[in-house]
Structures are given as structure tokens and as C-alpha cells.
Amino acid sequence: MQELTLKQYVVDAFTDRVFAGNPAAVCVLEQWLPDELMLAIAKENNLSETAFTVKNGSGYELRWFTPGGEIDLCGHATLATAYVLLNFYEKTWDSVSFSTQSGALGVDKKGELYEMDFPVYGLKQVPVTQEMVLALGARPSGAYMGRDLLCVFDDASVVKELKPNMEALKALDGLLLHATSASDSEEFDCISRSFAPKLNVVEDPVCGSGHCHIIPYWSEKLGKEQLTAYQASARGGTLYCRKDGDRIIMAGKAALYSQAEIHIPADGLDA
């Protein structure tokens, strides 16, 4: 078998400039690769997410891999994939539909914004435990479980200054942990940070799927359907969100960082 050459892009999502937002690698494939090879590529990239997409009829199939394995939903890598497809592959399109593990996901290009239609994660309130306090180094005022654990704080400065114990976080329920509070700036409604040590990702710089937990909470708490959210990681990122029934309309900007080729030798195809 001959060497395999793949085109790969890295896009910073939920930002209008490079070196901010959340970087995602995007591989546009002619056909699916073995899962083990896609995971090996994700590990080699060592970003929080590598997206793989294959055209199918008038839309695309989409899968997301972290260095720790495949995940069922990822916002920033979906935005990044839509950016790549609409700017390099489907230049006459103003929207793209993805078939994913989380169902059909649509992305519309509206000026500089890429607007995504995502599912809401239902939240169930759970007790604040001493294990949460020890893992986070601070006591949340409330905790809620969806796919992920959502911990709510009353003080934005506490969220910004958290230095969680990653090993202790792994012992908590939920795939990821999101810490959130109301914003201390009039520019935003809420802020958050997202941690994913179970996926070999210490901190996700801007987590789209996390806002499928965060936005439902703050929409109800603030009595607002339209919210502007800020992810207060070191890189930072802005999400323009609207709750629409059991869906979240989530929009952000994107900036292209790199285009490259991946070269996988024939003996590497058995990775």
C-alpha cells in the first residue's frame, strides 16, 4: 500500500484572530480511515480536538477525536470544519449540514459568524460534595449534571483563578467539568472554564458542547433567551448564543492558522 497523504487545516474557533479561541485540526477525507488511525492523528496533533469529515450527498459526515478518544459532540471543531468547507471546498454554499453521533447539526455562515444549531443537554441538580470542593479548590454554590458536570459559582474572579487538581477531577462524575458564573463585565452575560482530564485535555480553551449545559442554565437563571458568553481561559473566546426550545443556536468567528499535509507511510496505516 502506498503512502497516504491527507490535507489538514488548523483553525482557531470562537475568535477573530490567531493565537486565541480554541484551535481545532480539521482533516477533509475522501473516505473514512480506521478509528485507530484517526485517534493516532489526534494524539499526534495533541489539540483538544481533531475533526474528520467525509462528504455524503449534499452534506458531510463528521466525527471528533480528542487525544483520549472519540467524543459525541464538539462545538469548536464543528465551527472549524464548517469554516474550512465553506471557504475551501464548497465556496458557493452559505450553510453545511453534518451527520454526527449527536444527530444532524447545521452551520450557517452569516457574515463573519458561523451559526451552529446544537442540542440542549438536560440538567439535573446534584449535591455539592466535598470531593468537588477538593478537586476545584473552591466551593461552588450549585452543581448540575448533564453529559458533563456543571459547577456554578457566585464570584467570577473565583472561576478565573481556579487551579483544579486534575487527578481529583477524574474521580468526579461527568465527562467534562465546567465552572461558570455570571459575568463581571457588562459585555458578557456569563463566563466559564472547561476541564477535560478524562480526555487527556487539561483545559479546553473554548468549549462549544459545554455551552449546551451553560446556556440552558443561565437562560433560565437570567430570564434571557439570547446570551453572550465568554470562556475565560488563557486564550479566551466569545460565543453568541440563543436558546430555542431544546436547541442552542451558537455562533462564533474563526481564524485560519495553518494548512498542511499529513504523510502516513504504508506501515503507519496499521497504527
Q: Could you list the active site residues? A: 49
Bridge-based pairing state of the strands 59-66 and 69-71: antiparallel
* Phi, psi for 248 (deg, rounded to 5): -115, 120
**Residues with Cβ < 8 Å from 89, sequence gap 6 or more?**
28
Q: Where are the alpha helices (DSSP H) in 3-138?
A: 35-45, 75-84, 130-136
Do 154 and 181 meet the contact criterion of CB atoms below 8 Å apart? yes
Q: Is 260 in a helix, a strand, or coil?
A: strand
* Phi, psi for 74 (deg, rounded to 5): -150, 120
For cell 467534562, name the residue. 176
Q: Is the Cα dihedral 132, 135, 139, 144 positive or negative?
A: negative
Cell numbers at 233, concatenated: 481561559
Q: Is 75 in a helix, a strand, or coil?
A: helix
For cell 433560565, name the residue. 220
Residues belonging to the chain: 271
Cα(202)–Cα(32) distance, rounded to whole angstroms?
A: 28
**DSSP letter string over 193-211?**
EEEEGGGTEEEESS-TTTH
**Residues with Cβ < 8 Å from 93, sequence gap 6 or more?**
85, 86, 109
Compute the C-alpha angle 25/178/209, nearest 5°: 45
